């Protein structure tokens, strides 16, 4: 399916069915370069002065700082799982997912500030403790002030509509033709990327379901091989149902195969939940067979 700029309904549809979002986060890992030590190491190795770098960890192995830094990746993983590639840091978020997306983002943002407050509440004590840990390496001036640290850790959600790009009426006709062809290619490429990402997410979810609903052979302590059911998590089933809802409202290329598969997966899951699948071998077997059948059309 090709998006034609001459028929604005396609672009209008994309604008009204999705928005662009991004998350910016800043942080400090509390490291400081030591050129003096680096220079001595280089001299001992008969190397040039600029080939060695030494960095001190001012708060090495601090658990509160580690939690705060790890939370960044949690936020970025959330963004990747709920959105689709668009351009640079901007990601495409289907309109049908906005409410749930914002609720989850707000939860992650609150967690971020809670972790930051916990870290800052203990910051002066952490610095004092480093005087005993770092020995002669310790220099109180290496540590930023409390307000500087607070300013170094930020999180911000930004969003904007998918551009209409109606610049064609503002340029000369010959320029408009060239710009139009170039932009049309960009739009088609981005929509195809979004579609490919949707299909990939859909396949990943079904593969996870199929895997969880399967059994595996394990060797007991007595050496006997036994058959064990794999664990089924609530989040796996919930993620599959959320994706079914998203695909029902957002299918930018009008992929009939994907829509049919989405409908089949929804019909398979609408009468079961994770608890049912954990307790019922027949339900587990039926869901796995249905999911494998849908998967076979994509693999």
pLDDT in tens, 47-98: 455 544 434 567 778 899 999 999 999 999 999 989 988 888 889 888 888 8
Q: Look at residues 162, 154, 153 and name the one whose alpha carbon lies nearest to residue 21.
A: 162
Beta bridge partners of residue 91, listed in sequence order: 21, 85
Dihedral (Cα; 88, 92, 97, 103), 10-degree rounding: 20
User: Residue 293 — pLDDT band, cuts 50, 70, 90?
Assistant: very high
pLDDT at position 228 is 84
CB hemisphere CA count around 20 (13 angstroms): 15
CA 240, chain centre distance (Å): 16
Per-residue model confidence (pLDDT) at position 21: 92
pLDDT single digits (tens) 232-271 = 999 899 999 999 988 888 887 788 899 999 999 999 999 9
Q: Where are the beta strands (DSSP E) in 77-117?
A: 84-87, 90-94
- Rounded Cα distance between 93 and 22, Å, is 10
CA separation for the pair 177, 2 (Å, rounded): 18
What tokens were used for 190?
Answer: 């981005």
Give the pLDDT confidence of 29-53 residue by residue, as tens digits: 777 654 544 444 444 445 455 544 4
The total of other beta-carbon atoms located within 10 Å of residue 283's CB is: 16
Residue 131 reports pLDDT greater than 70: yes
Average pLDDT of the chain, as a whole number = 79
Q: DSSP string of 147-198? A: HHHHHH-EEEEEEEEPP---GGGGS-HHHHHHHHHHHHHHHHHHHHHHHHHH
């Amino acid at each position: 399916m090709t998006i034609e700029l001459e028929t604005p309904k396609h672009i209008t549809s994309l604008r009204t069915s999705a928005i662009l979002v991004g998350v910016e986060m800043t942080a400090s890992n509390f490291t400081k370069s030591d050129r003096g030590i680096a220079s001595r190491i280089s001299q001992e190795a008969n190397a040039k002065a600029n080939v060695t770098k030494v960095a001190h960890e001012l708060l090495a192995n601090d658990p509160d700082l580690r939690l705060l830094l790890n939370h960044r990746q949690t936020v970025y993983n959330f963004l990747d799982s709920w959105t689709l590639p668009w351009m640079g840091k901007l990601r495409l978020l289907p309109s049908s997912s906005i409410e749930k997306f914002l609720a989850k983002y707000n939860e992650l943002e609150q967690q971020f500030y809670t972790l930051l407050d916990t870290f800052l509440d203990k910051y002066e004590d952490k610095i004092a403790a480093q005087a005993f840990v770092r020995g002669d390496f310790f220099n109180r001036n290496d540590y930023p002030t409390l307000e500087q640290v607070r300013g170094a850790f930020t999180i911000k959600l930004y969003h904007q509509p998918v551009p209409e790009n109606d610049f064609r009426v503002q340029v000369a006709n010959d320029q408009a033709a060239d710009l139009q062809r170039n932009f049309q290619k960009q739009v088609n490429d981005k929509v195809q990327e979004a579609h490919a990402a949707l299909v990939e997410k859909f396949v990943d979810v079904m593969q996870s379901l199929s895997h969880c609903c399967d059994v595996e052979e394990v060797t007991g302590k007595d050496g006997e091989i036994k058959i064990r059911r794999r664990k089924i998590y609530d989040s796996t089933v919930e993620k599959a149902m959320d994706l079914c809802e998203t695909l029902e409202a957002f299918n930018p290329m009008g992929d009939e195969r994907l829509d049919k598969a989405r409908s089949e997966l929804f019909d398979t899951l609408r009468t079961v939940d994770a608890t049912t699948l954990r307790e019922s071998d027949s339900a587990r077997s039926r869901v796995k067979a249905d999911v494998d059948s849908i998967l076979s059309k994509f693999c």
